[in-house]
A and B are shown apart, each in its own frame.
Chain A
C-alpha cells in the first residue's frame, strides 16, 4: 500500500562533527526518498552514520548542510521549537533501549505522548481510548497497569511502539528496535511492525543489523562511512 507521495526526503544531507582538531563526517551527503506507506530498512556496520541520519530525519540533530523534507517541508530551515512541533505531530520514535519512563505504567507511558501532543495544541488528537487500544493491539491488554520493570524487555519494546504510534505519526523511525531482544521477542516486535505497515500503511524507517528484520522491509538501504552504498527493493 505504497503511495507515490514522498513523506520523507533528504537532499545532499551531511553531518560533520568536530572532534577536537579532527573533523568526522558521520553522514557524507545522502539523498533518500521514502514514500507514504513504505517500510525501509537501514543497514550498515556500527559507526557508519545510521543513527545520526535517523536523528537528523527526526529533527533531533541539525545537519551541517543539506535538506530534510517531511511532507515537503524542509525542517532544517526551522527553529528548534518548530522542529520539536514537527517531531510531536509527525514523527514517532522507537529506540533500542525502549526509553520508557520507569515511574509510569505502560498505559501512562503511552498516554504521556498524547499529553505532550495535546498540550497547548488546538488541533491535538485526543482520542482517550487510543492508548489502551494500541496496547491491546500489541498484545499487552493485560499489562496496561504494569510498570516497565514489571514487564519483559520484549513487552517494554511493544509499549514503546504503542507510544510511538499513539499520535498517528506520518512516519515511524526506529533505531535498532530489536537490538536488545532475543529471537522470540524480535519476531513479535517485527510482527507488530509488519502488521501495522500492512494494515494501516504506516510509513517506517528502521535501523537494523538483523537480516530477518530487513527481510520484511520493502526496501533495504546499506550505509558505509556516511554514504549509501547499496539500495535494493526487497520484493
Chain B
C-alpha cells in the first residue's frame, strides 16, 4: 500500500471514520433488511411445516400468507376432506389476528384434538395443553416461548383478547404453527362464525403421493386450493408480491446513501488536497497513479466499512432479537457477499469522479492553491 494512502487514512481519522461508518451502515442496513424478510419468511414457513401435516387446504383465491385472507370454508368440507381417498387425518384451523400484550398483531389459532392427529406435537415447557373437556365458558390459552418471553407472560397469567380474559395454561416450545393456541369452538363462538374454518391441515397416507393427493382434493372438493407444505417456503416467497423489489429498493437506497457520503468525503478530501495532487503531478505522478492512489484509499475505507458493517449487523441483530424475541433475523452467505459487494461498489462509485477530477487538475494551478 502506498505510504500516502496509509498516511491519509491514519492522519485524517475523522474523515476516514465517517466514511467507514457510512459503508458499515449501508452493509448493516442491507443485511438487516434482507435478514428480517428472510428470517420472517423462513420462520413462518418453518412453523407451518413443523405442524407435521403434508398439505393445507384453503378457500380458493386465498393468500398463502395466513391472515391476509378472510375467506373461510364450511365445516362440512372438513368431513369431506377426511373422506377423500389417500387422506389419513385432517385438522381444521380458525385463526384470529390478535392484539395481545400491546405489541404487533399475532396469529392465534383455534384448534381441536384433531390438530395432533395430523402430526402436530406441541411440547410444553411449562404448564399443560388445552383441556378439550373444559366447559365452553373456560378461556384457556397456550402460548409459545418466544411470545411469552417478549411479553413476560407466565403460566397462570390472565391475558386480554377479544374483549375477554384468558388464562395462560401452558407455554409451548416455539416453532410450531401459531404463537397462541386456543380451543377452536371457543374462538369461533366468540368471533361469531361457529361453523367456519380458515384452513384445514391434511396428513397424507403416503408421503410420496402428496402431490397427487393435493391434485385430487382440488378436483374433488369444489372451492378449495391446496398447498403442499414441502413447497410452502417457495410459495410464500412467490405470494409476497414485490418482495424482491422491496429488498432491491431498500438496498438501493442504502447503497445510494453510502455512495453519496463517500462521494462527499472523497470530493471534499480532493478539494482539501488540491495542492498535494499538484505536488504528485510535479513529482511525475501519472493520471493513472493519482486515480489509483485515491481509489485505493476509498477501497480500503470501504473494505473496513464492510467488515465493520458485518460486525455492526450481527450486533444489531443480536440487540433486536434480544429486545424483541419474536423477531427472526437470518443472515445468509449469499446476501452477506452481496451486501459486501454493494459496500465496495458504493466506495468505488463514490471515489471515481473525485479521483478523475483530481487526475485532471492542472499541476501549476493546483500548486498555487492555498
Contacts and interface: CB of A to CB of B under 8 A. Distances in A.
B207 interface: no
Contacts of B275: 99
B287 interface: yes
A113 B282 CA distance: 10
Given A112-B3, A116-B289, A88 B283 contact: yes
Chain B interface mostly helix, strand, loop or mixed? helix
Contacts of A115: 2-4
Given A112-B4, A115-B2, A115-B3, A101 B279 contact: yes
B29 to A, nearest CB: 32
Interface in A58-75: 58, 60-61
B286 A95 contact: no
Interface in B259-279: 275-276, 278-279
Nearest to A115: B2
B9 to A, nearest CB: 9
Interface in A1-39: none
A135 to B, nearest CB: 15
Given A112-B4, A116-B289, A119-B289, A99 B282 contact: yes
Interface in A175-213: none
A89 B4 contact: no
Given A55-B364, A81-B286, A103-B11, A111 B279 contact: no
A163 B288 CA distance: 21
A103 B7 contact: yes
A30 to B, nearest CB: 18
A101 B7 contact: yes
A196 B169 CA distance: 95
A58 B12 contact: no
B8 interface: yes
Contacts of B364: 55, 60-61
Given A55-B364, A116-B289, A101 B4 contact: yes
Contacts of B2: 112, 115
Nearest to B289: A119
Contacts of A153: none
Interface of A: 55, 58, 60-61, 80-81, 84-85, 87-89, 91, 93, 95, 99-104, 108, 111-113, 115-117, 119-120, 163
Nearest 7 Cβ contacts at the A-B interface: A88-B284, A103-B11, A103-B7, A87-B284, A108-B3, A99-B279, A116-B285
Given A80-B287, A87-B283, A101-B7, 4 more contacts: A88-B286, A99-B367, A116-B289, A120-B289
Interface of B: 2-4, 7-8, 10-12, 275-276, 278-289, 363-364, 367
